[in-house]
Amino acid sequence: MNKYNKIIIPLLVIVLLNLIEHGFYLISIERPVFYYEYLAIPLVFTFNSNKLIRLLIITFIVISDAIISLAQFYFFDTFNYITKIPSFFKSDFSISFWLSLVGCIILIGLIIYITAKLLEFIKSDDLHKIFYTKFLIIVFICVYLIDIISGNSFFYFRTVGNNHTNFSQSAIMHYYNDAKIFSKKYGPVTSIANYPKNSITYKYFYNDSADRQILIVLESWGYIKDKAIRLEQMDALLKLNVNGYKVVTDSSTFQGGTSQAEARELLNKSGEAYYSIIQNHPKNTNSIIAHKNKMGYYTNAFQSFSGFHSSGYWFRKSIGFKTVIDLKYFKDSLHAPVNYNNHYEAVNDEVVFDYGIKKAFSQRKSFSYILTINTHLPFKGTANHKILNSVELTTLPSQEALEQYSRIKEQFNFIAELLKKYPIDKLVIVGDHPPPFLKNSERAFYSKKYVPAIILSKE
C-alpha cells in the first residue's frame, strides 16, 4: 500500500467513526468533534496483529464513547449514569424497543467489523510503529491547533466570546473527571451553597402559611420558547382565575436531571446535595420539609413509580417526609392500572394527583410533594386531538413531541378539574428539566436554560 493510502484510510476511518458517534450532528449530543483516543488506533494496531484483539480495542473505544454521550444526553455524569443500569431491568420496554436495540447492536457490530477490515493492512512491525507514531503526533498537533485558534485549548489563545466547546477532547480525561465526581465524599448538605436566587419551591412556599400546600415536580416539562403554545398548554390552569385562584407563571434555571431538580426544589441546593443526602443520611438537612415539619405541617411524598430509582425512597425519608408512598401502594392496595407511556413501571400520574389532593383534606395542615413519571422520554402515546387546536397540532417539532405535550396538557386539565372540587390553598407545578429529545430540531423548541412553573393560590 502506498504512503498516501496509509494516511488517508486511517483518517477517513477516524472521521467516520466520530461522525457516527455524533449522529452526523442530527441528534443532540454534547460531544467534541474528535476524541483523541481515536487518533491512537492505528498506532495501537502496530503492537498487535490479532484480529480478535483489534476488534475488542475498537469495541472498547466505541462503547466508551457512546456511554459518555448517553450520560450527557440524560443530564448525568458517566458513572452515576452507569449506576442506573440496574433500573433498566426493572423497566417495561416494548417489543419494538428490544427489536430496535438488537438492530443497533448489529449495526454497531458491523461498523466495528468494517473498521477492523479497513485497517487490516496495518502490520505489527517497526516500520509501521514509526510511521503511525509520526501520524499520531502530526494529526494530534493539527486538531489541537484548531482548539488553540478557537480559544478552547489550555493555551486560551482567544477567550473573548469563547463558547468553551472543544474541537477535540480526551475521553480518558472525561472518565477521569467523572470518576472524581462519582467517588467524591460529599460534605454535610448544609455546607453546600444555596441555589442561585432561590428555587421556585422556596420562593413560593418557604414563608407561606396556607393550610394545604402541594408541590408537583413534573417530569420533562420544558420551557417552550413559543409563548402562545406555552400558555396554551397551561390553559385549563390559567382559567382557574375565575374559580377563586390567583394564577402566576414563572420559570427557573435548571442543572442536571430529576435528582438534581429534587435537590433544587426540596433543598434549595445544587445537584450534589442529592448525593450528599444519600451518602450521609444527615439528621439536619435544612430542607423545606424539615422547615414545614417545624411549622406543624404533616409532610407527604407521593410518586407513581418505584422509590427504588435513584434511591429516591431513602432520599425523601432522609430529608424528613413523614409519609412516603410510591408505586407499590397505588398498584397493590389501590389496584390502579399500569401506565404504558414509557419504560418505567408506573400507574397513571392522575391516580397520584387524585390521591394527594384528596389526602390533603384529611390533615389539618399539610405539605405534599408529588413527583411524576408518565411524561418521561422515550414517550409513547397518542395525541389527544380533543384538547389540541390546529396551531398546536402543526407547531410541535415531531410526533413524539406532540404526544408528550398533549399528555402534559391532559394532566393539567385533570388537575384543574380536581381543584374546582377540592380547593387546595396553594399548588405549585415546576418542571425538572427539558425533555431530552433525540434530535436537535426537537430540543431547539425548548429553552436550554429554563424550566417553567405555574403557581395557583386560593384567594
Cell numbers given for 206? 418557604
Residue 73's pLDDT band, with cuts at 50, 70 and 90, is confident
Is 83's pLDDT higher than 90? no
The residue whose grid cell reads 498516501 is 4
On average, the pLDDT of the chain sits at 90
pLDDT at 156: 44
d(CA 227, CA 236): 16
pLDDT at 163: 45
Yes or no: say if 93 and 343 are a contact pair by the CB < 8 Å rule. yes
- What burial letters (b/e) apply to 40-50, b meaning 16+ CB within 10 Å? bbbbbbbeeee
Cα–Cα distances in angstroms (integers) from residue 310 to residues 28, 166, 258, 260, in the given order: 24, 31, 9, 11
d(CA 428, CA 456): 6
Cα–Cα distances in angstroms (integers) from residue 313 to residues 98, 171, 387, 412, in the given order: 29, 34, 35, 26
Mean pLDDT of 399-418: 97
How do the domains of the chain map onto residue ranges?
A: 3-183, 189-458
Selection from 378, 408, 376 nearest residue 309 by Cα: 376
Tens digits of residue pLDDT in 419-455:
999 999 999 999 999 999 988 889 999 999 999 999 9
pLDDT at 268: 96
d(CA 11, CA 145): 17
Q: Between 3.30.70.20, 3.40.720.10, 3.40.50.300, 2.170.150.70, what CATH number should domain 189-458 receive?
A: 3.40.720.10
pLDDT at 157: 40
Yes or no: say if 314 and 278 are a contact pair by the CB < 8 Å rule. yes
d(CA 210, CA 304): 26
pLDDT at 161: 41
